[in-house]
Structure 1
């Protein structure tokens, strides 16, 4: 079933990328948006997961936190998915960004709620959330210009090409992140979110509030989440 879903998601990504005209992105991570040429983009091919995915029975997947995810955080994410169910078209997979974990550890969990399969990746937090660059998120902010990570539920939206290359807009669904579109809080890849940063500096670099992932991980994130799925960002 995952292979069929992945194929459908890849086709949706290509279709979306072909029909978009770039779209104007405002400040923060997306900055200036460049029009997308009318030519096929390469199909995102997800690299193999770093470790074998863990599974739980499908009937229990929404009630039992998969191994490696804090149970209370998982329950909050599922509750948020249910609360925003009318605004989130796809309920088969979710992502949880656990910002209680420092940036040198994988903390962006992509979860298949049917099978319990989990893939966990590195993700950066915002400059405004960690002014001293400790590698640990200190606070969230929804304020325009804060360059901070914000908490709450997001739904993945359309794709565009900006200063970080292929990127994906996010719509904030809670009062704590409802400025996400105005702040251009998006998913993109960057060199400062690559694993080599941990080897050299002991932590990832910081974004302007965006969910920045490693350059080798972006295709996997796009393939697994596609459009219309939830990302839940939290620390507690």
Structure 2
């Protein structure tokens, strides 16, 4: 079944128009804290806060993703937290060139400025799949002021050779994206299937 296209502006207009009832957040939030094995508790708390603030926008809470950009890029730091099974899968993810201009392997700053090629901090809603220059990818809608230009900047989840394990082993760090969440070609199918449309991706650092 094809997934529908939904922009941030369209999402907010739809929610305001139809007045979706608030979902009860208690069960998924309790599940997130219990299932987030090895994830920085500061970021877990921020993700919980994002779930509460964007309650009406996030309609699927079985899997929640947290990108911990306080870790070096060579380490697995994209955490896919499965609430139903109580397990966490951690994978490597690249950050933007503008967030690490010296290519140290560490993110130094966030930015949502168009043309910055930087990673943006904040809560994202996963949107539809599409096929682009990097193959099958998933669009993202920025939900916070700190990532509100995600659509204009074409910030998405996609695969890239420079995010592979072999690159991390060879040079001790991943390559850099233009601000997108770039994962290994070996991991993209898993990421796209686990993190389907309508779910929360929170990006930050403690």
TM-score of the pair, normalised by structure 2? 0.85
1: CA distance, partners of 2:34 / 2:57: 24
2:112 aligns with 142
Number of residues of Structure 1 aligned to a counterpart in Structure 2: 184
- Kindly state the Cα deviation for residue 119 of structure 1 after the two structures are TM-superposed: 0.3
2:141 aligns with 171
Over 3 Å counting, the alpha-carbon distance change for 1:103 and 1:229 in structure 2 is same
- Kindly state the Cα deviation for residue 63 of structure 1 after the two structures are TM-superposed: 3.9
2:99 aligns with 129
2:65 aligns with 95
- Kindly state the Cα deviation for residue 87 of structure 1 after the two structures are TM-superposed: 0.8
Asked if structure 1 preserves the Cα contact closer than 8 Å seen for 2:99 and 2:118, the reply is yes
- Kindly state the Cα deviation for residue 60 of structure 1 after the two structures are TM-superposed: 4.6
1: CA distance, partners of 2:30 / 2:56: 23
1: CA distance, partners of 2:29 / 2:121: 29
Over 3 Å counting, the alpha-carbon distance change for 1:63 and 1:194 in structure 2 is closer
1: CA distance, partners of 2:66 / 2:83: 12
Confirm whether residue 115 of structure 1 aligns to residue 101 of structure 2: no
- Kindly state the Cα deviation for residue 66 of structure 1 after the two structures are TM-superposed: 2.8
- Kindly state the Cα deviation for residue 116 of structure 1 after the two structures are TM-superposed: 2.1
Asked if structure 2 preserves the Cα contact closer than 8 Å seen for 1:93 and 1:229, the reply is yes
- Kindly state the Cα deviation for residue 167 of structure 1 after the two structures are TM-superposed: 1.0
Aligned residue for 2:145, secondary structure, equals coil
- Kindly state the Cα deviation for residue 64 of structure 1 after the two structures are TM-superposed: 4.0
Asked if structure 1 preserves the Cα contact closer than 8 Å seen for 2:66 and 2:202, the reply is yes
1: CA distance, partners of 2:162 / 2:113: 24
Over 3 Å counting, the alpha-carbon distance change for 1:201 and 1:115 in structure 2 is same
1:217 aligns with 187
Asked if structure 1 preserves the Cα contact closer than 8 Å seen for 2:125 and 2:200, the reply is yes
- Kindly state the Cα deviation for residue 182 of structure 1 after the two structures are TM-superposed: 0.2
2:38 aligns with 68
Unpaired runs of 5+ residues, structure 1, are 1-14, 21-57
- Kindly state the Cα deviation for residue 76 of structure 1 after the two structures are TM-superposed: 1.0
Question: Stretches of 4+ moved more than 3 A in 1?
Answer: 62-65
1: CA distance, partners of 2:29 / 2:144: 28
Aligned residue for 1:86, secondary structure, equals coil
Asked if structure 2 preserves the Cα contact closer than 8 Å seen for 1:124 and 1:213, the reply is yes
2:156 aligns with 186
1: CA distance, partners of 2:65 / 2:47: 9
1: CA distance, partners of 2:170 / 2:49: 39
Aligned residue for 2:147, secondary structure, equals coil
